[in-house]
A and B are shown apart, each in its own frame.
Chain A
Amino acid sequence: MPRLLAVLLVAFVLPVSAKEAAPAAADPVLEKRVMALSEELRCLVCQNQTLAESNAPLAEDLRNQLREKMREGKSDKEVVDFLVERYGDFVLYRPPLKGTTVLLWFGPLLLLATGFAVLMRRLQRRRAAGGPGVSDAERKRAAELLAGGER
């Protein structure tokens, strides 16, 4: 039985993986660079996918362009700049830090800080007010209850 399984695995799995790996085999280092970089870039057709994941024809074209530029000896930065020139910062999954993106980068931190400040102020005010007050009448009743004076 294990032997049959092995034969089946070899028969069905190997040819498939061999076929998928074909383009990578051409130049595995380059292919790795292309995939690594396209993980960082947004596909403009299906905007919540990266260029690496997307099967849209445009994503395929752009991956080919990345590959070609890299083959020409361009650095990752030059290739990314090439795309930003055409499609804007929107293609980057990690937008650059600049005037228009300050709020994007620090907005969540600002919200957190504001929330924390509000919380601290509330707590302080409550402490200043002397905590939850217990009136004399309540104290007396509590003492009665503890003494078991009332059912």
Chain B
Amino acid sequence: MTRFAIPVAIFVALLVLLGVGLKLDPREVPSPLIGKPAPHFELPQLHEAAKTFSERDMLGKVWVLNVWASWCVSCREEHPVLLDLAASGAVPVYGLNYKDKREDGLAWLKGMGDPYKVSIFDFDGRVGIDYGVYGVPETYVIDKKGVIRYKRIGPLTPEIVKSTLLPLVNELDRA
């Protein structure tokens, strides 16, 4: 009986290892930006092209930056969550309209509701690259000093907002 103990133990260990591996999401690449200052940008706003918006305008506030696009399918799924978050007033939500056409972006917000205080317009996706965006939607929480504290790749869900995002925002607000 003991003859088989070691192979069986190895087999079970392997099974556990592979089982855990199956549950991991390979698309979720840990961002090197967490704990680093939010990269600088100065971009025209979506609604008013003449006005610009910069991450520096938000120093002293905890805020959420959400990367979205009208061509992005998962953004549709995420949109009600953002509307709820914005309506709750817990944290200001800003949008980065990523590689979109201005009229498409505006039409999307008109049709689905606009959770964003301001959306900025990143037509060539350059700011997106600075923020390490590769799978829209992505969401960042930025603290009062302008440091990125959290990044979510993929759509926000009510669970993530409740269990991760809001507690973090509360903690950062108190800091």
A42 shortest CB reach to chain B, Å: 9
8 CB contacts below 8 A, A to B, read: A44-B29, A44-B134, A45-B134, A61-B124, A87-B29, A87-B32, A87-B132, A89-B32
**B131 CB contact (under 8 Å) in A61, A65, A86, A88:** A86
Chain A contacts to B: CB under 8 angstroms: 44-45, 47, 57-58, 61-62, 65, 84-90
Inter-subunit contact B129/A62 (CB<8 Å): yes
Inter-subunit contact A84/B135 (CB<8 Å): no
Chain B contacts to A: CB under 8 angstroms: 26-27, 29-33, 99, 124-125, 129-132, 134-135
Inter-subunit contact A90/B29 (CB<8 Å): yes
Residues of chain B within 8 A (CB-CB) of A61 are 124-125, 129
* Most-contacted residue by chain B among A45, A57, A61, A62 (CB, 10 A): A61
A-B contact count (CB 8 A): 36
Inter-subunit contact A86/B125 (CB<8 Å): no
CA distance A47 to B29 in the complex (A): 11
* Most-contacted residue by chain B among A44, A45, A84 (CB, 10 A): A44
CA distance A61 to B130 in the complex (A): 12
**A84 CB contact (under 8 Å) in B26, B32, B131:** B32
B101 shortest CB reach to chain A, Å: 14
Inter-subunit contact A45/B132 (CB<8 Å): no
CA distance A66 to B110 in the complex (A): 37
Q: Which residue of B lies closest to A45 (CB)?
A: B134
Inter-subunit contact A57/B27 (CB<8 Å): no
**New contact pairs (14) apart from A61-B125, A61-B129, A89-B32, CB-CB < 8 Å:** A47-B26, A57-B99, A61-B124, A62-B129, A85-B32, A86-B32, A86-B33, A86-B132, A87-B29, A87-B132, A87-B134, A88-B31, A88-B32, A90-B30
A63 shortest CB reach to chain B, Å: 11
A112 shortest CB reach to chain B, Å: 16
